[in-house]
Chain A
Amino acid sequence: MADRGTESVALTPPHASHFASRLGRIAVAGFALAAFSGAAGLIVQATRLGHSNAAALERAERDVRAEFEDLRSSLAAAARAVTGRGDLLGRPFTDTGAGRTLFEIVTFETTRSGAPDLAITVYSAAGTPVAWSGRPSEIPPDRVAGPPSLFVAPGPLGLRLVHVEPVVVRPAKSTPERRVGAVAAERVLSRSRGVGRAASEFILSSSVAPVVLRTRYEGAGETNRPGMFRIRSPSGETLIEAEVVPAELERARLSARRDLVGIVLAILAGTITVVAVQLLDWRRRAARCAEYTRATWLILAALAVGRALLWFATPARWTARPLFSPASYASSSVAPLLRSPVDFLLTALTVLGVVALLADAVRRLRLAYRRKRQAADGDRLRFVLAQFAAGTAVAALVFGYELFLNDTIENTTLDVLHFSLHPWSSARLALMFGLLCFHAAVVWAGVLSLFGALAFWRIDRGRLPGLVYLFGTWSVALAVVTVVVDQSGWHVPLVPVSLVTATCMIAAYLAPRAMARFRHASQALRLFSLFLALAIPALLMYPSVLHFADVATRRLIEAQYAVQAQNHPQELQARLSQSLHQIDRIPALPDLMRSLGPPSEGAAQTDTAFLIWRQTDLAEFRLTSAIELYGADGALVSRFALNFPEYAPSAQKWQRTACHWDVFGEAAPFGSAERRMLHAERAVCDQRQTVGAIVVHVMLDYSALPFISSKSPYFEFFRTPASPQEGMPGGDVELVIYGWGGLPEYTSGTGAWPIGEELFRRIYVGGRQPFWTTIARRDVPYRVYVTNDRAGIYVLGYPVIGSFGHLVHVAELATLAGLAFAVLVVLGAVLARLAGREPASGRHLLREVRASFYRKLFLAFVAASIVPVITLAFAIRIYFAAILRADVEAEAARTAAVAERVIEESAALQQRGPESLASVSDDVMVWISQVIDQDVNIFAGPRLLATSERDLFASGLLPTRTPNAVYRAIVLQRLPSFVGDDEIGDFRYMLAAAPVRLAGRDAILTVPLALRQQEIEREIDEFDRGVYLAALVFILLGAGIGLSMAERIADPVKRLTRATRRVARGDFDARVAVKTADELKKLVDAFNSMAAELKHQAAELERTHRLEAWADMARQVAHEIKNPLTPIQLSAEHLRRVHDDRHRPLSPVLEGCVDSILGQVRLLRQIAAEFSSFASSPTPRPASTDLGELVEEVIEPYRAGLASRIRVDVNVPATLPKVFVDRTLLGRALTNILENALHAMPGGGRILVTGTRQDGRVRLDIRDTGVGMDDEAVERIFEPYFSTKAIGTGLGLTIAKRNVELNGGTIDVRSEKGEGTTVTITFPYA
């Protein structure tokens, strides 16, 4: 089983004990950490919550009192800091200089305090706010005019602690103190948001448990219960009643216990995971199959236990956070395991871990069967059956996963097509990372299945029948499963499934080669391959995700949105019925009606109508509605409307009706058009006497549908706590309702789709049958769902993602995969470190980079492309964001200006004249808000005068104080317009303001632009995504160029390195070829020249060594020959002399012998002399020599003897420059050359000696017409003892060459067989 050939090492007993001890250490450390955490948690819990409820209550009380004291002292300090500048209050309010200074002071104090919720108001002696900061509440006049006080008041943003400090000045020492105003500083004690919250209940967080706060007006100080305590002001007045409910304490204890258990379980799960990593080591070293299998099972068990522990570790109360919330995601098919995004991620990681574990097992299985594989051609039936089974399993796996994907997308409110990291959403990222892991796990499980099925079979590569059988069988299996799935009615996209399955098949077939390459790959390549293993499945699954997201959106539109839109009129009717019933149940309605006086200044008040409206479903569902209350005389006395302007209030007169509701539909003017409306009215009767009447209007306004985004920033603010999660399917759906005339009556977005003739005919002819189609609007295609009823045509659509959008998605998906991969690598490294192993990847990678010029170059190129591209991208992004913002600011200013003109024009149209401030009522504001499609508020001085959102202001949910920045800009700085940011709590939005002239005095018009701001943010986000894609493309381009450049630069360097190594080994034939013509070419040329030179020098060196060896030998031979020659010669001569002396001449035979001996002795002596000459190392004694003379000297002795046979011509001009040579040595060289020439011409011939100048040298050519030599002989001509003659030592030319070169000359021989030989000698000038 084990791969003995590669990495397997048997776990010998010492290893086993070491391994066991390490496992033990990890387990002990983990359990110790868990125990320590548990103990520490218990101690913290005991410290925080106390040992008993009484102790906990005491601590909670201490916390609350301390917080109150902190708040009180900070408020007192802030108020006193401002009262110090009381002198400014003595000046008139119109003194803008003083006002500005006061504003600066309060702003400075607010900023200095560091409390973002601090609000300071400076009141004049008349109780008018003259300067303020933050969002202060309205304080009762008696508090402003009264003594220093500290009190608690419910404010727009929650319960507020208010400190009021009178401002007293003494103009002169002699004059008495004079009160000139007051300063109120306030901070939020406890935030309360949402219309549905009980107004009397405020919750304050403490370190123990939530504390319920009640103001004294809500019954504080009246009862005493356990856990209740009172906070008093310094004057002893009860400020507030606080209560810690015992059940809350129990809940806090339970939560703390669950948190603690969660932490301990998480630590244990971590420990088990580290143990699993350690077990991996064991498995890697396992030598036997059983051991390997056991280790694998243990790791699987550890993974399962770890996952289960983490499942139990999540405390239920964490479900409020999106990451742990089932509302974000909970599977309907595998509900218990996948109940939140974090569950999804952890399960995905576990599954991926299991697949990775099996991958190694399958690889080893294949290796184990390496020698036992059967030929696929041998038993074709079994082969086909096995592959069919594997193919079916993989196809089923992929189809199953597609269904799981569908289940995931249908059961999440997170946008699975939002791959960008911005805006950061931990829940979405957890789901995305989980999906990436699942994609990879499924694809690689498929590859492993096919790969495993191939492990037992041998397919000859390149043999077509085998491949056809293999892929054919797999494809048939896929087709069979596809048919089964199709028949089952499961809607699975076939193209993506086929793509994924085909990829699995190809990957399984190529896996052996890929694995071999992977084993020998560099660390960088391995990491990149692993990244691709995560990224490619994600890209393969992208079409499926897209398909299911689209299906989910369509289903939502068909099943919910369209039905809600069509049913909206009926729903309104139902809500109205319920509202009427609720009105009927209001106690003492007749008394309320009686209490209403005549309208002041001719305008109806809003409070009473609002009080009634607030208690109905009209408020609950924020329906576009109005409630009008009429007095017994039929005059309108109170009216409240939400987004419902009244166009002719003065003409309104109630006509007497019955005491029960009369409901009917009518058409009312709404801006320039008419809208359908439900009208309900009844008289308010008391003992059969009519005391007034109540009229309710509900307008058909589709903005109230839950899937339509509100245009009101205020409404967005109040909806925030439980708003739909970002990017839920269908989040970008628009609704347009057309009348049967084809004109749009309602548009939720920025425009309506054009309904052409053909489409209208299709709608008309098709009856009530809804259908899907595609319509383009402003060149953007939309998928739209068209349905209709008698009332009109309902079209709901969403934009179709174009090619650019897909490209952006792919880029973001790849980036997300990169991030997920980095997280996995880091996680693996941390686990490995915890398991006591050295994480190899990073270190190896660094080492590789350090050692590789190529990689450094590549990284440098990538860095060089990243830095400017990212800088440029940021610059572009900032530039365009600034342009967008500037555009919006300009638009905001225009909107404010339009609103200003509309107000002034409306006043003129109503012919009320500018005298009456009342002409600017909430009705006018609502009307204007309909015109400009934005909310509008009018502030007069510091307070709200009229608004299109009266309900929110009137209910105390919004502060009625003029925003500080707006007041300063418009009133104090006299700016023509102002565009800035404002905030309600944590919700920031853009606000435009402009001055308006009303009733002869200045007022301020404000337009909150939350919707436009959202649009800008969306546009900026879209732009960011485009910039990101461009940046990524450029970076990839840079990386590609970098790769190519690094290749171009590093490749010659690599070749040079290899060639240098060859040269170092003595292979002087190593040469490098490059195609470039740059410095690298020069370097390579230099290297090649160097190699050639080295080769030449090596040859020279070799020759020199050889010559030295030969010279040494010659010296020894000469010595050994010369020594016996003398006695031989002497003996022969003695023999002849003795016989001559005795006059007995030698016999002819003997004489011949003696002559022969003496002749041979002479010859041997001559040879020895030559050897000796060759062996000697003469020292040249150069002198200026006339080469012509020297040649004549050498040739002259031969002329006489050769005259008949050989002609010798000398043509050495006397003008030839002299040379600096040793005459003797050169003479000897010339003699040897001449001798050789003569020997080459036994039958006669010609010798020509020519002297010429050539390139600053003197050249001497000695040419003969002898027998010549072949090339081989020419090559060896200067070698010692080489001769073409029958006699001779073969040293003549060797000596000649040596002598010439000793004199600084060169010698060369050219010869042609049968033509003769030319010896050329050159010398430099003397």
Chain B
Amino acid sequence: MCCTVLLVAIVSAEGPLDRRLAAIRVAFLKNDASLLAEQFPARDKVYLALPDFGVRSFLGPGPLRALLERLAAETSTTAFVFDATDQGRPTQASDSVWIKARWTYRDLSTGSVRLDELHFSIRRNPEDGEWRIAELRASR
């Protein structure tokens, strides 16, 4: 039921960027590493700064996938909300947007609930027009 609602959310999103944002949200809420990995470029390195996971580097697809699997295995997302004000969106047509999300999750090993701010840099691929996460930073 939950997933159906989420999928509906993706499908009903307006443009490609909205669909991507919806997909990111779904991936986080479903704790699905594969789905999450799909939100990143397939081949290019991306910049990840997740201090709680000991990462601050440009990661290739392999390390990225491993990290996302770890993230999915060790946490359980309870809430994921993009910044309602949408401050990061450019006012004019652009190939990059910077959007912030509040990610609430349960650390499965300790059981504690944490709240992180995730700073996404999402870029449009000039070849296929798809929006993908190019940079992800977390802060608390």
Contact = CB atoms under 8 A, between A and B. Distances in A.
B110 interface: yes
Contacts of A573: 90
B58 A411 contact: no
A577 B58 contact: no
A782 interface: no
B67 interface: yes
Contacts of A245: 110, 112
Contacts of A332: 60-62, 65
A620 to B, nearest CB: 5
A1070 interface: no
Contact of B57 (A250, A331, A577, A725): A725
B63 interface: yes
Contact of B100 (A326, A410, A578): A578
Given A326-B67, A326-B70, A575-B98, A411 B62 contact: yes
A326 B90 contact: no
B134 interface: yes
Contacts of A574: 87-90, 97-98
Contacts of A330: 62-63, 65-66
B12 interface: no
A443 to B, nearest CB: 24
Contact of B45 (A333, A555, A575, A719): A555
Interface size class of B (residues with CB under 8 A): 35 or more
A333 B42 CA distance: 12
A328 interface: yes
A329 B87 contact: no
A661 B19 CA distance: 30
Contacts of A407: 62
Contacts of A560: 44-47, 58, 134
Contacts of B87: 574, 577-578, 580-581
Nearest to B74: A316
Contacts of B65: 330, 332, 335
Interface in B35-74: 41, 43-47, 49-51, 54-63, 65-67, 70, 73
A1231 interface: no
Contacts of A580: 87
Interface in A1158-1174: none
A198 B140 contact: yes
Contacts of A1076: none
A719 B88 CA distance: 25
B109 interface: yes
A719 B70 CA distance: 23
B63 A328 contact: yes
B96 interface: yes
Nearest to A707: B58
B94 A570 contact: yes
Given A319-B70, A320-B54, A335-B66, A248 B110 contact: yes
B109 A326 contact: no
Contacts of B57: 327, 413, 722, 724-725, 728
Of the listed residues A254, A564, A721, the one surrounded by the most CB atoms of chain B closer than 10 A to its CB is: A564
B78 interface: no
Interface string A1298-1322: 0000000000000000000000000
Contacts, number: 147
B40 to A, nearest CB: 11
A411 B97 contact: no
B56 to A, nearest CB: 4
Interface residues of A, number: 60
A724 B56 contact: yes
Contacts of A194: 51
A198 B114 CA distance: 11
B121 interface: yes
B60 A325 contact: no
A339 interface: yes
Contacts of B134: 560, 563
Nearest to B48: A327
Of the listed residues B51, B63, B88, the one surrounded by the most CB atoms of chain A closer than 10 A to its CB is: B63
Given A413-B59, A560-B58, A730-B58, A339 B66 contact: yes
A556 B46 CA distance: 9
A413 B98 contact: no
Given A577-B88, A721-B51, A412 B100 contact: no
A413 to B, nearest CB: 5
Interface string A406-418: 0100111100000
Interface string A562-603: 011001001101110110110000000000000000000000
A706 B57 CA distance: 9
Interface string B90-119: 100011111010000000011110000001
A664 B126 CA distance: 29
A251 interface: yes
A223 interface: no
Given A559-B44, A560-B134, A577-B88, A413 B58 contact: yes
B62 A326 contact: yes
B129 to A, nearest CB: 16
Given A326-B62, A326-B70, A722 B46 contact: no
A724 B47 CA distance: 10
B51 A196 contact: yes
Interface in A179-219: 194, 196-198
Contacts of B88: 574, 577-578
B83 to A, nearest CB: 7
A132 B20 CA distance: 57
B123 interface: yes
A617 B58 CA distance: 21
Nearest to A585: B85
A194 B83 CA distance: 25
A247 B112 contact: yes
Contacts of B97: 574
B62 to A, nearest CB: 3
A413 B94 CA distance: 30
A575 B139 CA distance: 14
Contact of B61 (A320, A411, A556, A723): A411
Contact of A567 (B67, B73, B85, B96): B96
A198 to B, nearest CB: 7
B113 to A, nearest CB: 11
A622 to B, nearest CB: 12
A407 B45 CA distance: 12
A723 B56 contact: yes
A563 B126 CA distance: 12
Contacts of A247: 109-112
B93 to A, nearest CB: 11
Contacts of A556: 44-45, 58
Interface in A120-155: none
Nearest to B116: A196
A368 to B, nearest CB: 43
Of the listed residues A250, A326, A412, A563, the one surrounded by the most CB atoms of chain B closer than 10 A to its CB is: A326
A1081 to B, nearest CB: 67
A706 B49 contact: yes
Contact of B63 (A413, A559, A707, A723): A413
A327 B45 contact: no
Q: Which 5 residue pairs are nearest across A and B when measured between Cβ atoms?
A: A326-B66, A411-B62, A722-B56, A332-B62, A574-B98
Given A410-B43, A563-B96, A571-B98, 20 more contacts: A196-B139, A245-B110, A248-B110, A316-B70, A320-B54, A327-B67, A329-B63, A332-B65, A339-B66, A410-B62, A412-B60, A555-B45, A560-B46, A560-B47, A570-B90, A570-B96, A574-B89, A722-B50, A722-B51, A728-B57
15 contacts: A254-B109, A316-B73, A327-B55, A330-B65, A332-B65, A335-B66, A412-B60, A560-B45, A573-B90, A574-B88, A577-B87, A706-B58, A722-B51, A723-B56, A724-B56
Interface of A: 194, 196-198, 245, 247-248, 250-251, 254, 316, 319-320, 325-333, 335, 338-339, 407, 410-413, 555-556, 559-560, 563-564, 567, 570-571, 573-575, 577-578, 580-581, 617, 620-621, 706-707, 719, 721-725, 728-730
